[in-house]
Structure 1
Amino acid sequence: MSITAGLDVGGAHLKVALVTQGRVTAVRQIACPLWQGLDKLDAALAEARPLIADADTIALTMTGELSDLFPDRETGALTLIGRLQEAFGDRLRFWMGPRGFGNADDARRHHTDVGSTNFLATAALVGRKAGDALLIDFGSTTADVIPISGGAPRPRGLTDADRQVTGELVYTGYTRTAVMGVASAAPFRGQWVGLAREYLATMADVRRILGTDLAEVDQHATADGQGKTPAESITRFARMLGRDARDGTGEDWRVAAAHIREAQLRSIHDGAVLVLSASGLDAAAPVVAAGIGASDVAEIAHRLGRTFVTYGELAGADPAAQAWATAAAPAVAVALLAGI
């Protein structure tokens, strides 16, 4: 029986997918605050081992080289390549973007193709499954917007720097982004209130205030180190407006939070419009929704006048694994691509 594992080593999470006989059977996300030290990666890998112990091949992609644990991306990539080779040995195959897969020596030679090309793996699988599509992967930290045409990804940029210009990388996240990075003001009781430029609240707080259940996907500490109830989120969010929670009603805070969420969605929508303006994609090409923010991607697809399908559905994941296959799309992609 053929078993392939896919790992996506990020700066905040380790995402793990298991493919058995060509079908996605299990997916997990494990907190991995890499900026706190390589021991956090070791702990996350240890937690993942029982799931991937029987895998014949472990396919890997990474964005963790961007962590401020490292002085630069090259150091980050080479350090992670070495650490992961120690952990898994010859079973490892590194995703190298346009170059496909290679071993650890290949990865060292082409480390610039190893780092932060997980979006290409996600998009390559969409190309194989859908032909023409617009992939929007809205994760905890960023949103990728990738056109796929004729069965292949057609990004205008390959590096983060280029992709932030083309609209293909929108640096805003479903949970981890600070509110101050999304908007400069919010409506409150008939007035526009400038927001504090302090790390006081995140988009996870905004979504909890709006009633979203983040228990499974929000795995990191809050801005003040306190709990994750809606009431505690309102306390943090109120500080952004120079207020205490008791200074407004629940509806006051929901109206203000809804405005922040809308500003975030608009930024991703604007990226999508810019990408579409250069892509020539047919109007019938669907949006493929990926990431923990896939439900919001569905809303963006509606605004774009396009149908949508989730990544888990497109990848043919087992029903019980579809939601997490959508959320952890790059791990799923490398696991499936490595088995082809």
Structure 2
Amino acid sequence: MPPPEWVLGWDVGGAHVKASLVERGVLRDVAQWACPLWQGLDRLEAVLAAAQARWPGAAGAAHAVTMTGEMVDLFEHREAGVHALAGLLGAALHGPLWFYAGERGWCAAPDVAARWQDIASANWRATAALAAQAVGDGVLVDIGSTTADLIPLRGGEVGARGRSDAERLVGGELVYQGVVRTPLCAIAPRVAFRGRVSNVMNEFFATTADVYRLTGELDPAHDLHPAADGSDKGAAATRQRLARMIGLDARDAHETDWLAFAQAWRSKQLDELQGQLERVIAAAALPAAAPLVAAGCGDFLVAALAERLARPCRSFAALVLDDAPQAGEALRRRAQVGAPSVAVGLLFSRGAG
């Protein structure tokens, strides 16, 4: 089957949908939409309509799909989620439709029922496969809004020990922490504030978005979900949410104290990610010169992890767009955040079906 002229790569998650437009093997555009799938399939239908409006010239394109949205509690179980999402995509999208099945390649729509386990939550492998082709040895560190994928790359191949989410959670290759949606009480049970260590309130008072919004590292383009209290995302409201984590109000300390508090939470999250990353590197016996390949909206943390581990740091977008000098900085940034959709789009365009 010859490569199609146009390919739309889709990463259908439980909180966001990311899509990439590839023309004759060249990445042209990447977009992201909030999609709280747990609220209903109509959320995904709205995103698909928005994507079609964004790329009207790509009607009839081939579609390369990966997903993690089958995990949301809208579905009775993951199998039902894969079937439901595949059915909706098949009804809404025009053109050839293929699903990424990890190391087993591509799956045509009629075969989804038999191969749902290969399709479920395989998006990380697509990103890792493309990164491995570029660096040989390394670790893909894709930190998104909700999760972090830590995937060893060996000799140009994906070196992951786990295949499913359950297996990757055991081995440290999947860490359920991100830079937007993670409740702060999941990061650490205790944290320092103004020289004293305090227990943390185990309530949904604040999320990691509050931390990185205050430090100035979170791009507003990726801060798409409501704050924990439903309030605004300005600095004052952000400080108030952080203060609640230790039983205080924002007015109880100076703005500089709350910035230092945000930095303390940042350090706690880096500690956890570093520990998991060290487990993965040791299990894969990676050489000291093997780089971290940074991806996701939380890629700013990967540079800090690389510094802690004294390893080089490479950008996923720079690797995959190395032969596309015409790609502007905005496209490179979107490719960095939408890495799995970019990966399935490019992989499919290079070897369709």
Tell me the TM-score normalised to structure 2 length.
0.93
With 44-53 and 126-135 compared, the bigger mean Cα shift is at 44-53
The one-character-per-residue Cα deviations of 1:230-267 (angstroms, maximum 9, x if unpaired) are 11100111111111110011121122221111111111
Q: Please, which runs of 5 or more residues in structure 2 have no aligned partner?
A: none
Would you say 1:224 and 2:229 are equivalent positions?
yes
The one-character-per-residue Cα deviations of 1:190-215 (angstroms, maximum 9, x if unpaired) are 22121111101000001122233431
Aligned CA-pair RMSD = 1.3
Distance 2:54 2:270 in 1: 35
1:48 match: 51
* Shift in CA distance, 159/76, structure 1 to aligned 2, threshold 3 Å: same
Distance 1:220 1:179 in 2: 15
Match of 2:120 among 99, 115, 119: 115
Identity %: 44
Indicate the SS of the match to 1:300.
helix
Instruction: Give the conservation status (yes or no) of the 8 Å contact 1:121–1:333.
Output: yes
2:347 match: 337
Instruction: Give the conservation status (yes or no) of the 8 Å contact 2:107–2:115.
Output: no
Match of 1:133 among 122, 135, 138: 138
Instruction: Give the conservation status (yes or no) of the 8 Å contact 2:243–2:250.
Output: yes
Structure 1 segment 164-183 matched on structure 2, within 5 A: 164-183=169-188
Match of 1:193 among 187, 191, 198: 198
Instruction: Give the conservation status (yes or no) of the 8 Å contact 2:63–2:95.
Output: no
Distance 1:246 1:11 in 2: 36
Match of 2:42 among 23, 39, 42: 39
Instruction: Give the conservation status (yes or no) of the 8 Å contact 1:9–1:64.
Output: yes
Distance 1:49 1:257 in 2: 39
Instruction: Give the conservation status (yes or no) of the 8 Å contact 2:209–2:218.
Output: no
Q: Displacement of 1:73 after TM fit? A: 0.7
Distance 2:84 2:212 in 1: 35
Would you say 1:86 and 2:96 are equivalent positions?
no
The one-character-per-residue Cα deviations of 1:27-65 (angstroms, maximum 9, x if unpaired) are 111010001111101011111113344162110000000
What letter corresponds to residue 242 of structure 2 in structure 1? F
Structure 1 runs (4+) deviating above 6 angstroms are none
2:14 match: 11
What letter corresponds to residue 334 of structure 1 in structure 2? V
Distance 1:24 1:183 in 2: 39
Indicate the SS of the match to 2:227.
coil
Distance 1:323 1:28 in 2: 11
Instruction: Give the conservation status (yes or no) of the 8 Å contact 1:187–1:255.
Output: no
2:27 match: 24
Indicate the SS of the match to 1:121.
helix
Would you say 1:71 and 2:76 are equivalent positions?
yes
* Shift in CA distance, 245/79, structure 1 to aligned 2, threshold 3 Å: same
Distance 1:332 1:189 in 2: 43
Indicate the SS of the match to 1:108.
coil
Indicate the SS of the match to 1:109.
coil
The one-character-per-residue Cα deviations of 1:141-165 (angstroms, maximum 9, x if unpaired) are 0000001111110101011111111
Indicate the SS of the match to 1:339.
helix
Distance 1:186 1:44 in 2: 39
Distance 1:312 1:103 in 2: 28
1:146 match: 151
Distance 1:98 1:107 in 2: 15
With 316-325 and 274-283 compared, the bigger mean Cα shift is at 316-325
Instruction: Give the conservation status (yes or no) of the 8 Å contact 1:210–1:257.
Output: yes
Indicate the SS of the match to 2:128.
helix
With 90-99 and 133-142 compared, the bigger mean Cα shift is at 90-99
With 127-136 and 115-124 compared, the bigger mean Cα shift is at 127-136
With 241-250 and 82-91 compared, the bigger mean Cα shift is at 82-91
Q: Please, which runs of 5 or more residues in structure 1 have no aligned partner?
A: none
Distance 1:125 1:168 in 2: 17
Instruction: Give the conservation status (yes or no) of the 8 Å contact 1:287–1:307.
Output: yes
With 142-151 and 211-220 compared, the bigger mean Cα shift is at 211-220
What letter corresponds to residue 183 of structure 1 in structure 2? A
Distance 2:200 2:287 in 1: 40
What letter corresponds to residue 68 of structure 2 in structure 1? T
Q: Displacement of 1:6 after TM fit? A: 0.5
What letter corresponds to residue 194 of structure 2 in structure 1? R
Structure 1 segment 253-264 matched on structure 2, within 5 A: 253-264=258-269
Tell me the TM-score normalised to structure 1 length.
0.97
